[in-house]
Amino acid sequence: MSHKAGFVSLIGKPNAGKSTLMNALVGEKMSIITPKAQTTRHRIIGIVNDENHQIVFSDTPGIIKPKYTLQESMMNFVEDSLVDADLILFVTDIHERYDEQDVLEKLRKASSPVAVLINKVDLSNEEEVKQKIKFWEETLNPDAVFPMSALLGFNVQTILEYIKEKLPEHPPYYDKEELTDRTMRFFVSEIIREKIFMLYDKEIPYSTEVGVVSYKEEPNITRISAEIYVERDSQKNIIIGKGGEMIKKVGTYARKDIEEFIGNKVFLELYVKVVPDWRTKKNILKRFGYDN
């Protein structure tokens, strides 16, 4: 059977329940990666793999009315990810106040199919749900409308099947093995890398790699030790920063994100190592534990 793969953009207001939905859709297979900013407009928040499918879920910043420039650039980002998506899931709250005109304009112009997910129907009744479905069908004329409860898992499976049906035929975008077998370590190293991309300029992020050396789960805390590899001493000094303040920042931001993801306290140790030309040496990558 041929393989299907594609990008699915989740859009909706910040409190519409996107992250709960994400967790329900991706379940235990959750793996989160943030590709380098230059290579993609998507902020990837989860990937679902099975034998014949790879669904790459990407998030857009919560839809907001642009009040100042930063928000305008966020809205441009939203527009870009609508252009690139193979499928758009518009997540809306059953008790939505309908103040989403700016978004609706964009959705009407989108060339990809749009499905409206009416979330939190567990807080509602049948009559209201019917009215809402009718409202969205008339307002947007979407490809599909699904009432759902991300919290209770209601209709989640149906939505997954719908997504798979809509995906184009395409080989996987990301290595399936890598994502399923080493999710936790892989995820942690990607979070640390993301912080390096955020905090350092220019070529620094591209000359670094992150390897998780140890990952120990204890009842009340998860102890993680990771190494940041660079190619030159000068890069090591930049990564560490004056009096160690830069590496501290990386550690603090990364720890917060990791704690949020695994739902446990984290003790994170970061070391910086200089390995000349690590990028070209397969055996070095092996020794760093990239293939275990």
Question: Which tens digit of pLDDT belongs to each residue from 29-52?
Answer: 444 444 333 233 456 667 788 889
Cα dihedral angle (87, 93, 94, 100), rounded to 10 degrees?
-80
Cα(56)–Cα(72) distance, integer angstroms: 25
Tell whether residue 60 is among the known ligand binding residues. Answer: yes
Tell whether residue 141 is among the known ligand binding residues. Answer: no
Number of other residues whose CB lies within 10 A of the CB of residue 83: 13
Cα(257)–Cα(263) distance, integer angstroms: 10
Residue ranges of domains in the chain: 4-166, 182-287
Cα(273)–Cα(247) distance, integer angstroms: 13
Quick one: average pLDDT of 164-176? 89
Beta bridge partners, 91, equal 117
CATH topology of domain 182-287: GMP Synthetase; Chain A, domain 3 (3.30.300)
Pairwise pLDDT comparison (75 vs 87), residue with the higher score: 87
Tell whether residue 15 is among the known ligand binding residues. Answer: yes
Tell whether residue 13 is among the known ligand binding residues. Answer: yes
- Contact (Cβ atoms closer than 8 angstroms) between residue 6 and residue 86: yes
Tell whether residue 59 is among the known ligand binding residues. Answer: yes
- 100-130 per-position pLDDT tens digit: 666 777 788 788 899 999 988 888 899 999 9
Cα(233)–Cα(247) distance, integer angstroms: 15
Tell whether residue 31 is among the known ligand binding residues. Answer: no
Tell whether residue 115 is among the known ligand binding residues. Answer: no
Residue 127 is predicted with a pLDDT of: 92
- 211-270 per-position pLDDT tens digit: 888 888 888 999 999 999 888 899 999 999 999 999 999 999 999 988 877 778 999 999
Residue 32 is predicted with a pLDDT of: 45
Sign of the CA dihedral 178, 196, 63, 119?
positive
Tell whether residue 18 is among the known ligand binding residues. Answer: yes
3-state secondary structure the chain: CCCEEEEEEEECCCCCCHHHHHHHHHHHHCCCCCCCCCCCCCEEEEEEEECCEEEEEEECCCCCCCCCHHHHHHHHHHHHHHHHCCEEEEEEECCCCCCCHHHHHHHHHCCCCEEEEEECHHHCCHHHHHHHHHHHHHHHCCCEEEECECCCCECHHHHHHHHHHHCCECCCCCCHHHHHHCHHHHHHHHHHHHHHHHHCCCCHHHHCEEEEEEEEECCCEEEEEEEEEECCHHHHHHHHCHHHHHHHHHHHHHHHHHHHHHCCEEEEEEEEEECCCHHHCHHHHHHCCCCC
Tell whether residue 17 is among the known ligand binding residues. Answer: yes
- Contact (Cβ atoms closer than 8 angstroms) between residue 146 and residue 92: no
CATH classification of 4-166 is 3.40.50.300, yes or no? Answer: yes
